Copies of this chain bind each other. A is one copy, B any other.
Amino acid sequence: MEEREKASLKSTGRILLAHGAGGKLGHQLVADEILPLFSNPILARMDDSAILEIEGFRLAFTSDSYVVDPLFFPGGDIGRLAVCGTVNDLSMGGAKPLYLSLSLILEEGFPVEDMTRILLSSRRAAGEAGVQIVTGDTKVVGKGGVDKIFLNTSGIGLIPDRRVLASGHNARSGDQVILSGYLGDHGIAVISQREGIFWGEEIHSDVAPLNGLVEDIFRASQEVHALRDPTRGGLASALNEIARQSRVGIVLEESNIPIREPVRGACELLGLDPLYVANEGKLVAIVGRDAASDILEAMRKNPLGQRAEIIGEIVENPKGKVLLKTRIGGTRVVDMLAGEPLPRIC
C-alpha cells in the first residue's frame, strides 16, 4: 500500500488533492519531498511548532495557511480558525502564545464587508486567547487566481522557564491518553455547510483557543509528555504521529471516546470515520499514569474540557501502531489516513 502510493506520486509527478487531506499521502509529500531539503534538528522534530532557543529563552514558533471552504460555517469562520489554529499549535508545544501575524491573500472582487467580518472574528478570537496580532501583509490576486480569500497566521509563544517540553517523542509505556471532548464537530460542520446537508440538528464547529486549557493542565501536573490538537487527519493521524515519533503503541477504548450523536450519525451517512475527522478545539494529552486523574479533573473544570475522557493508554508494542478496542470486543488497527477526500477543511 505504502509502496503503491509512493509509486503514484513518483509516476504522476503532480500534486494530488489527497496530498492536502492530512493523511498518509500528505505525510509522504512532506516527509519525502519537502523535509529532506531542509534538514535541521529543529524542523526534524516535526511537532506542531518549532522550539527555538534565543538568548537562553525557549520560544515556540509556528505558521499555518487557511483555505477552508466555505469561509463561514456554523460555529466559526476562516478568521476564527486562523487565530485558533496557530494559538493551538503554539499551546501544543507547551508555550504561552503571545504574538500573531495575520496575512491575507484576497481575490479581486471579494466583498470588503466579508473581509471585515472575517477580521473582526480574528480579533475576537485573539481577544479570547489573550494574544496580540502585531504584523501582517495583504496581497490581491486577479479574479480566478485565488478562491475568495486565504489567510496565513504565524505565531510566537514563550515556554515557561521550568516547563518540561511536551513533544510527540516523549510518550512512554503506561502513559494515559486523555481527549479533551467530543470528536469530529469541526469537520462535520464544515462539510455539512459546504454540501448543504442538514442533520436535523445544526452541528457547530468546535473551533476555540486551547491555551487556557493547556495552562490548566500544566498547573495540575508537569507530567505532560505529549500534546497534540487533532486537526487535519483527525485523532487517528495525531496519535499515529505520536506512536511513530515515540516508537510506542497506543491502545484506544472505543467506548470511552466521546462523540456527539448527530456527528456519529452524519459520519455514518457520509461514510466517514470520526477518528479521521478534523477538530479545531480539542487536544489529546499523553500524560504520566499517576498524574492522569489530577489532569482529567483540572481539564473538566475548564469549559473547553468538560467532556474530557481517558480514552486509552501507551503500550510497549506494537511500536508505531494505534489499536482500537471496539465496542463489540474486537481490536482493529487505526492506520494513518490513506488519501481521504476531505480537502479544505481548515
Q: Contact residues of A with B, CB < 8 Å? A: 9, 13-21, 26, 29-30, 33-34, 37-38, 40, 42-43, 49-50, 52, 54-55, 57, 59, 61-67, 69, 98-99, 101-113, 115-116, 119-120, 123, 126, 132-142, 144-147, 150, 152, 154, 156, 158, 343-344
Pair B14/A110 contact, Cβ less than 8 Å = yes
Q: In the complex, which residues of chain B have a beta carbon less than 8 angstroms from the beta carbon of A107?
A: 15
Residue of B14, B20, B111 touching A139 (CB-CB under 8 A): B20
Nearest residue (CB) in B for A109 is: B14
Q: CA–CA, A57 to B193, complex, Å?
A: 45
Pair B34/A103 contact, Cβ less than 8 Å = no
> How many copies of this protein are present in the complex?
2
Query: A37-B116, A106-B19, A152-B65 given as contacts; is B138 within 8 A of A54 (CB)?
Result: no
Pair A63/B101 contact, Cβ less than 8 Å = yes
Pair B111/A13 contact, Cβ less than 8 Å = yes
Q: Write 12 A-B pairs (CB below 8 A) sorted by A numbering.
A: A9-B112, A13-B111, A13-B112, A13-B113, A15-B106, A15-B111, A19-B138, A29-B138, A37-B116, A40-B134, A61-B99, A146-B147
Pair B20/A138 contact, Cβ less than 8 Å = yes
Q: What distance in Å separates the Cβ of A92 from its nearest Cβ neighbour in chain B?
A: 12
Q: CA–CA, A62 to B98, complex, Å?
A: 14
Query: A52-B99, A61-B134, A134-B52 given as contacts; is B140 within 8 A of A17 (CB)?
Result: yes
Having A34-B119, A61-B135, A154-B154, one finds 7 other A-B pairs with CB under 8 Å, namely A15-B106, A20-B139, A33-B112, A38-B123, A52-B134, A67-B139, A69-B145
Q: In the complex, which residues of chain B have a beta carbon less than 8 angstroms from the beta carbon of A101?
A: 50, 61-63, 154
Q: In the complex, which residues of chain B have a beta carbon less than 8 angstroms from the beta carbon of A9?
A: 112
Pair A120/B37 contact, Cβ less than 8 Å = yes
Q: CA–CA, A126 to B39, complex, Å?
A: 12
Q: CA–CA, A150 to B106, complex, Å?
A: 12
Q: In the complex, which residues of chain B have a beta carbon less than 8 angstroms from the beta carbon of A54?
A: 57, 59, 98, 156, 158
Q: CA–CA, A111 to B61, complex, Å?
A: 29
Q: In the complex, which residues of chain B have a beta carbon less than 8 angstroms from the beta carbon of A133?
A: 38, 40, 43
Q: CA–CA, A258 to B26, complex, Å?
A: 47
Query: A13-B113, A33-B115, A115-B15 given as contacts; is B141 within 8 A of A67 (CB)?
Result: yes
Q: What distance in Å separates the Cβ of A10 from its nearest Cβ neighbour in chain B?
A: 8
Q: CA–CA, A9 to B112, complex, Å?
A: 8
